[in-house]
Amino acid sequence: SGGIPFCFPQFGPGAIQQHGFARNCEWEVGALTDGDEPSITLTLKDNDYTRGMWDHAFACEYTVTLAPAALETAFKVTNTGGAPFDFTAALHSYWSVSSISNLKIASPALEGATYLDKTASPPAKTTQPSAEIAISAETDSVYAGVTGDVRLIDAGKKSTLTISNSEGWEDTVVWNPYGDEGMGYDSFVCVESAKATEPVTLAAGKSWVGRMAAIPPSA
């Protein structure tokens, strides 16, 4: 794994396959632009494979732009059918770190936030006590209502990466398979921009957009 796989139209387990089907589908190139801010738009529409699991008509557009100071992403979902549908979604973003022990995840919105601890048996909701997270155990947490800017502060790299959620993505998911050498737990963390705790209900002909920018330390 790596990069930014998609979770759509379902985040996590549920009625269809884990994290939905979008990450397993072939997307088409819809548009390319060059110049000072080059971008690419990829498209995905319903087909026999998707309708076999989720019988709805839709169109997804994912645009990545190399802006001067950030990598900007926009994920648009349009209901192209005649009836409303519900969905959840996330950008399952993998971020490189020098070591998981060097990392702190910080946001003012984290302090006092309610999160679902999916490593508990059974999964349980709890409260985040501070504005920073340090990972020292297997972590799979869905933070409701944590959006805006989330910073990855890496003491080993002496740098801070900012994940900036400006529209649509209302939750933040933190995942790391701590201790699993085979999965390379010590070299990455997933801090995911998500719409996971409450589904989007999208009426026929309407669209939903999620925007996330990755702002590097030099920006």
- Name the residues annotated as catalytic: 92, 192
What's the distance, CA 159 to chain centroid?
22
Encoded tokens for 177: 């398979």
Q: What's phi and psi for 187, nearest 5 deg? A: -110, 0
In 34-170, beta strands by DSSP E: 39-45, 58-67, 70-79, 85-91, 94-96, 103-106, 114-117, 124-127, 132-133, 139-143, 148-154, 159-167
